[in-house]
Each structure stands twice: as C-alpha cells, then as structure tokens.
Amino acid sequence: MAAQSHNEGQSVNRPPLFDGEDYTYWKTRMEYFLQGHDYQIWSIVEEGDLLVTNEKAQWTEDDRKKISHNCKAKSILCCALSKKEFNRVSACKSAMEMWEKLRITYEGTDKILQMG
C-alpha cells in the first residue's frame, strides 16, 4: 500500500518543534501556541519570571503558583527544541533568557540588524 502524502495538522497540546530551521516561522507559531495555552506563560517568556521575594521556607500559595508558572514556561520552551537547540539554551536561568538567546542567535542583535 502506498504511503500517505498529505500533511496533517499540528497538535494543540504539543508545542511546535524547532530544529534550527526556519526560525521566523517557529517563533510566530510558538508565540501563538504559548498565548493560546496560557497567556501568563507567554508574558513570562516575553517579560521575565514572576517575582517571588520570600525565602523558600516562607513561600505562600501565591509564591508557589508563580514559581510553577516560571517553571512551566521553561519546560514548554524546552519541549519545543531539538537536542541541539536545547543545548544552546540549557544554561539559561529563565524562559525569557532562553527566548532571547534563540532570537539573537537566529535574528542577530539590533546593531547587526541595522547594519544589514
């Protein structure tokens, strides 16, 4: 029997995979995925971790929710990256730092973009 040659749609439960190819396409799809999944997660990627000032022993329920959202943002980004791309950002401390490192790697800094 011949193999099917049509492409299927993407899953709404699984982030689009980035393997180093077509960054602009992935970046836009990832923004939409994160916004649709949980807009607060997208805000963390775009603006940085939710701030928790209490020591771990004094965390409130709200602090735990903030930490959980910060961790989810990093986790979703990690799930969207091939091993090579994950290794590129694995030392980053926040989802925003990961996102920015990928952006600079594939789009360059503003200075480089202006020169081009």
Q: Are 74 and 98 in contact (CB under 8 A)?
A: yes
Percentage of the chain lying above the pLDDT 70 cut: 86
Extents of the domains making up the chain: 23-115
Closest CA to 15 of 102, 62, 82: 82
Residue 26 CB contacts under 8 Å (≥ 6 apart), including other chains: 16, 17, 18, 80
* Partners of 81 in beta bridges: 18
3-state secondary structure of 13: coil
Q: Are 47 and 96 in contact (CB under 8 A)?
A: yes
For position 5, what pLDDT does the model report?
41
What are the tens digits of pLDDT across the range 43-91? 999 999 999 999 999 999 999 999 999 999 999 999 999 999 999 999 9
Which pTM was predicted?
A: 0.83
What confidence tier does 6 reach under pLDDT thresholds 50, 70, 90? very low
**Whole-angstrom Cα distance, residue 59 to residue 105?**
36
